[in-house]
Structure 1
Amino acid sequence: MFNILSIIMVLSSILVIRSENPVHSVFFLVLVFLTSAFILFLIEIEFISLLFILVYVGAIAVLFLFVVMMLDIKISVFDKDYMIYLPLGLFLGFIFFFEVFMSLYQNFLPSVNVTNSHIYMNWILSVDNLSNIETLGQLLYTYYFFYFLIAGIILLIPMIGAIVLTLNFSFKSKAQYEFAQILRNKKNSVYIAEKVID
């Protein structure tokens, strides 16, 4: 499953760069974020995985999508001028992968795996078998419940303020009334102002 998700993530990240339509590029970017969140969920980092889905997919990628769809971006055609940068890109990619391979080879030398031996016992898992989200929930609702409530109130007050500002109709606001402007005619719109002398 890890290999399938990583292959999908690499292919979709390549398609982010290669797709000519910017809307399709943003969709492939959403797919990259989702597959990376699934990979993090597979290696039991649930909190970071949910943060990826909430922050990247739910906020940033949707914002990108709305901006790209609202702006009238013309689809760029793949031109031959881009091919002059291909040798430089291949050279830099080769250097990057060579450095990564050499650092992995030097830093992670083969050693004896202690977890596979019969002597090894993970006492933390035997005593406390909680996931990351359960541990975070216990901390939030026990030790930091006051700060959690204050954060909820701080988020609630601007939401109520935004609703009140949109619902409150004031006659003093400088808004345009298109219907009243269209219905005006020459008789009730053109008049001579008399100068008042005190």
Structure 2
Amino acid sequence: MSTKLIYNECKKKLHSSDLLNVVIITLLTFLIFGLPVFEHSLRWHTDAYFHLSRIHDITQSIKRCDIPNALNLNSFGNSGQAINGMYPYFTLLPFIVITAWMNPISQYAMINLLFILVGSIVNYFVFQKFNRSKIQSLSATIAFFPLINVFSAYHLSLQGVWGIYFILPLALLCMKEINAGQKNI
């Protein structure tokens, strides 16, 4: 096969295959954000310790087959704080269940990675709803990675920062759909 034929075939697949593009997003996410999963220490920037203690408490509850408490027992020198009551943990639960077998540092990094992966895949499909091609949607999703990497490098908030990046395109799509619906009335 000639190089040009291979190039054209790859280009055709990128323009027509959601599965291939999701695989590309997955591979890039693991390559760019996966290294901290294999580290044995964590730089304690901003609220990483706060989230790590939340995740630890929820993980311990799951391992005991208990419902996670609203009181996080590991924060503030093990005196406790009602963190899980103020910051709902329901969005963390699926990720904690998947990663409960990992050590706390790797678990924290893997949950960050999974947030980025799921959010990026959702964004890919949201961008298509803006009447964009698959390749444009893939490009837009990849364009978010440097912005996410800045925050990931400093171990900022799990839900807060990732939520901004992954809810904004969805919120814009909702506003577009509401606006389109009002024009049809």
Q: With structure 1 as the length reference, what TM-score do the two structures score? A: 0.25
The structure, 1 or 2, with the larger RCO (C-alpha pairs under 8 Å, 6+ apart) is 2
- The structure having more radius of gyration, on CA atoms, is 1
